[in-house]
Structure formats: C-alpha cells, structure tokens
Amino acid sequence: MSTEPASSPATLTRRNVLVRAVSLPLVLAVPPALAACARGPSCNDTSSLSADDAKIRTEAAAYVEQSTDPTKHCSACLQFNAGAKDACGSCKVVKGPINPNGSCKLFQPKQG
C-alpha cells in the first residue's frame, strides 16, 4: 500500500502551476486575436499621405475603419477597389489604404 496522500484537484503542484502559468496568457490572447480577425486588416497607416489628403480622409470624407451601418461598408461601395484577400483596398475618391469593412460619408452603393 502506498504512503503517498491522494492528490485532490485543489492540490497545487509545480506541474499545475506551470500549466496554469503557460495557459493563462494564451487564453487571454485568444479573444483579441479573434476580434482582430473579424475586423479585417488594419488600414490606418496614412504616413504616405500629404497633410491635405489626410485631412480630407478624416474630416471631409469622415473615413472610419469599421462601419457602424452593415449596409454601408467600403466593399459594397462603387468607389472601392479591392486589395488582395485579407488586405487593405483603395478608393477612387479617398486616398490611402481602405478597410473593406470601413465606411465614409462618400459611400455610393454598387449597382446590381
């Protein structure tokens, strides 16, 4: 008969501590990663734009990365030029990288 005490689920062993220490950061990283996948690419890099073009993008066009109206997003706009899969596209009237899920005041629905 063994003289070792039966281990209970609440017993903290070095192995349990290490498993939890490794698992916690992975569990915490999953929701933001999934949220990022749902949003699509980040198309906020406007460093190549002139000050005037950046101002038009943010103020006149009021471009945003994520549309609040599911019927008005850039990929459904007549002015949108799609990029590669999961990449930023471009726009005929708003300069800079354009998120397919983004939106702006200049939205024109595609015909047909």
> What is the CATH classification number for the domain harbouring 73?
4.10.490.10
DSSP 76: G
**pTM (2 d.p.):** 0.63
Quick check: 109 and 77 in contact, CB under 8 A?
A: yes
User: pLDDT tens for residues 27-48?
Assistant: 666 666 555 445 568 898 999 9
Q: Are residues 108 and 91 in the same domain?
A: yes
46: burial class by Cβ within 10 Å (0-12, 13-18, 19+)? middle
User: pLDDT tens for residues 72-97?
Assistant: 999 999 999 999 988 999 999 999 99
Range of the domain at 32: 12-41
Q: Are residues 81 and 33 in the same domain?
A: no
Quick check: 63 and 103 in contact, CB under 8 A?
A: yes
Q: Are residues 36 and 46 in the same domain?
A: no
Q: Are residues 54 and 94 in the same domain?
A: yes
Q: Are residues 47 and 72 in the same domain?
A: yes
Q: Are residues 56 and 97 in the same domain?
A: yes
Q: Are residues 19 and 35 in the same domain?
A: yes
